[in-house]
Chain A
Amino acid sequence: MPSVSETPFRLLPQITPENEHFWTGGAEGELRFLHCAACDTLVHPPQPRCPQCLAGGLSPRAVSGRARVATFTVNHQPWIPGFDPPYVVAIVEIEEQRDVRLMTNLVGCDPEAVHIDMPVRVVFEARDEGIHIPLFEPDPRGGEADPSGGGGDADR
């Protein structure tokens, strides 16, 4: 998957054993979530047990990186010194399981062109310590089904 150049400044997550798969998966070009093999459910944020069936032993699984914009905002207020507006914050729904949502930034498009239900795909921004921030950009394949798409199909 493509990567994008670094922005001048970005607040970074504290990496822990529980979230490492998510924040570093981009090094292999993969967007990863914990997956419950017992009930085929993606779990986010990371949990010690599956919240659906309470099984333990969840393991990271890569998904296709394709998603849809559930909602968004164009931020104009400078909240974080060095992280300059305007920028688009969105909540995207992962293609494999729509109730898995990520807050993210949309990149590679005019903020005025962003719309709800817009198909997007993940793109990683590499930072220090192996951290890869998952951002999303317009998906040139549009909303068509991708037969090579990975992950489960527990679209509920």
Chain B
Amino acid sequence: MPIGERAAVLSGIGQSKVGRRLGVDPLALTLDACIGAIEDAGLSRDDIDGLSTYPGGMIAGAPGFTGAGIPEVQDALRLELDWFCGGAELPGQLGSVVNACAAVAAGLARHVLCFRTVWESTAQGGGSRRGIGVSSGGGGGFRASGFMQWSLPFGAASAANWIAMFARRHFHEFGTTREQLAWIAINARRNAARNPGAIYREPMSVDDYLAARLISTPFGLYDCDVPVDGCTAVIVSAAETARDLRQPPPRFEAVGTALRGRPSWDQFDDLTTMALRDAARMMWERTDLRPADVDVAELYDGFSFLAMAWLEALGFCGRGEGGPFVEGGARIAIDGEIPLNTQGGQLSAGRLHGYGFLHEAVVQLRGQGGERQVPGDPRVAVAAAGGGPLASSLLLVAD
């Protein structure tokens, strides 16, 4: 079986200012990240012949869920494109990066600029988070349609509700506890303390975690990521261009994009895991590397339980063993057996919606993590994003 993604390397990374209520035009944030990534790769914008994003500009989500689409960025940078793709019906946010790998492998483009922009903090006014699909005031004429008709009438208006129910089922089947789940959040906070760019850096204890107000049981406030404004961009390039680049790029060893169960938040066959089970399995089917070969794991934590589910799905611990595995935090610490979310995750470093994990994986593989650098010259990183029916994972190797 050809492993097409091995034709691709990750040549550059860029990130805008990231913060709460920046009040900045999201397209400006997008350009900051994109121009940064092009420069980081040692390329010029004339080299960019592909453009990819998630979820694109043509989607109705929570306010600030998307900040720029393909045409805005193409026009702002006057790119001459041979290939482009933007959309939300992908295997998670990093599905847009997998698309770029596929385009490179197919010879449709040589250097694909990929980006993800959020401005949820400014767009939502810093107030409490709204439900998905909830019009302002829930006005009289509104009717729920599509898949939201099965959840909105019951007030299940947020992924917090949907994912909380997976966590609850996991607690029921495997005996997982809030005191264990807490360590996903505490680990993120410990790592954020070493990251000057993180949003929340003050120490957090198990007691702090348990004392926070409840959102949707078993989730409290610290199980939920923090909305921010910001953009992350990466460049996926054809491997044969590596000598033109500013620095030796990590390469794509394998990707996982599978969705083998029902594409649903409530009809999936196993309520203790999600599509990430299928994506992770597929990724390992495409490589001889094994979980024990991974030096650093950057796993989506839009809600704490998702990172635990990814740890299990990727085989860093057994199915149902996530609770005992993370308890106490030693195994997932920066100096532990599988350092997790070294930048502070979305829980403490901000909800950059998937792309922040890929950015951090590259930072770690380059040894540029500063105070939060994983010791021992990490060579293999996994970046994974998504929850519910949306998931993909990327295995990166720095040779």
Are A and B a genuine interacting pair, yes or no? yes
Which residues of the other chain, A, contact B137 by a CB distance below 8 angstroms?
A: 81
The answer to whether A5 has its CB under 8 Å from any CB of chain B is no
Measured in the bound complex, the distance between the Cα atoms of B172 and A14 in whole Å is 34
Contact status B217-A79, CB under 8 Å? no
Which residues of the other chain, A, contact B151 by a CB distance below 8 angstroms?
A: 103
Which of under 10, 10 to 19, 20 to 34, or 35 or more describes the interface residues of B?
35 or more
- In the complex, identify which listed stretch (A53-61, A69-77, A144-152) lies at the interface while the others stay far away: A69-77
Known: A71-B165, A79-B158, A116-B172. A91 touches B144 (CB 8 A): no
Q: Which residue of A lies closest to B131 (CB)?
A: A79
The answer to whether B260 has its CB under 8 Å from any CB of chain A is no
Which residues of the other chain, A, contact B106 by a CB distance below 8 angstroms?
A: none
Contact status A70-B169, CB under 8 Å? yes
Measured in the bound complex, the distance between the Cα atoms of B216 and A17 in whole Å is 34
Which residues of the other chain, B, contact A16 by a CB distance below 8 angstroms?
A: 145
Contact status A13-B154, CB under 8 Å? no
Which residues of the other chain, B, contact A9 by a CB distance below 8 angstroms?
A: 138
Measured in the bound complex, the distance between the Cα atoms of B162 and A89 in whole Å is 9
Contact status A80-B134, CB under 8 Å? yes
B389 to chain A, nearest CB (A): 14
Which residues of the other chain, B, contact A80 by a CB distance below 8 angstroms?
A: 131, 134, 138, 152, 155, 157
Q: B144, B168, B218, B266: which contacts A101 (Cβ < 8 A)? A: B266
Q: Which residue of B lies closest to A13 (CB)?
A: B149
Which residues of the other chain, B, contact A71 by a CB distance below 8 angstroms?
A: 165-166, 168-169, 172, 271
Which residues of the other chain, B, contact A104 by a CB distance below 8 angstroms?
A: 154
Known: A12-B144, A75-B161, A101-B266. A83 touches B138 (CB 8 A): yes
The answer to whether B213 has its CB under 8 Å from any CB of chain A is yes
B70 to chain A, nearest CB (A): 30
Within 8 A of A (CB), among B156-180: 156-158, 160-161, 164-166, 168-169, 172
- B residues neighboring A (CB under 8 Å): 128-131, 134, 137-138, 142-145, 147, 149-158, 160-161, 164-166, 168-169, 172, 213-219, 266-267, 269, 271
Interchain residue pairs with CB less than 8 A apart (16): A11-B142, A14-B144, A14-B149, A19-B149, A70-B271, A71-B169, A73-B219, A75-B156, A75-B161, A80-B138, A80-B157, A89-B161, A91-B266, A99-B267, A101-B267, A116-B169
A-B contact sample (11 more), CB < 8 A, given A71-B169, A83-B155: A11-B142, A11-B144, A15-B143, A44-B267, A45-B150, A71-B165, A73-B164, A76-B214, A76-B217, A91-B165, A104-B154
- A residues neighboring B (CB under 8 Å): 9-16, 19, 44-45, 70-83, 85, 87, 89-91, 99, 101-105, 116, 133
